Amino acid sequence: MTQSVKTIRFMVSSEGVIRDSRTDLEWVVGPDRDTNYPQAEQWVANCTVMGGGWRMPTRQELITIYQQEWWGMKLDSVFKTTGYYVWAEPSDSSSAWYFDFFRGGDILEDRFNSYRGRGFGVRSRPR
């Protein structure tokens, strides 16, 4: 009889850094409060957790952590946040993209809207 081995996708360090074994990306979750794009961008730029080097995620990176088959908030609970939206890259001087982890998909939004918006930092896993 063969026994299947379940791979744990997300591992959380004592500093709160989340490692994704599927993508080799590392994530850090910003403050769990309504945050507009400039605030999220500033928080990520100033984040020094585990040596820094964090940047704003792209929409494509955010979709990799979206759990489509889940009900409600479609984000693993290791990402400790109550916000539905996570800011991604800018579009122009007045708007930026964010990813909706409740309904799925990216949305173009005014940079100064903060309703349920959150900032996450991402980086490639150091070798």
Answer whether residue 59 is part of any domain. Answer: yes
> What band does 5 get if pLDDT is binned at 50, 70 and 90?
low
Strand partners, 99: 86, 106
Q: What is the number of domains present in the chain?
A: 1
Mean of per-residue pLDDT scores for the chain: 93
95: domain CATH number is 3.10.100.10
Answer whether residue 2 is part of any domain. Answer: no
Q: Which residue has 């070798």 as its token pair?
A: 127
CA distances from 76 to 52, 73, 89, 101, 124 (A): 23, 8, 22, 10, 19
d(CA 1, CA 89): 49
Counting DSSP H helices and E strands in the chain, the numbers are: 2, 8
pLDDT in tens, 35-94: 999 999 999 999 999 999 999 999 999 999 999 887 788 999 999 999 999 999 999 999
Containing structural domain, residue 57: 10-124
Examine the pLDDT at 126 and tell me if it is beyond 70.
Answer: no
pTM: 0.90
CB 20 within 8 A of CB 95: no
Answer whether residue 4 is part of any domain. Answer: no
Answer whether residue 98 is part of any domain. Answer: yes
Answer whether residue 16 is part of any domain. Answer: yes
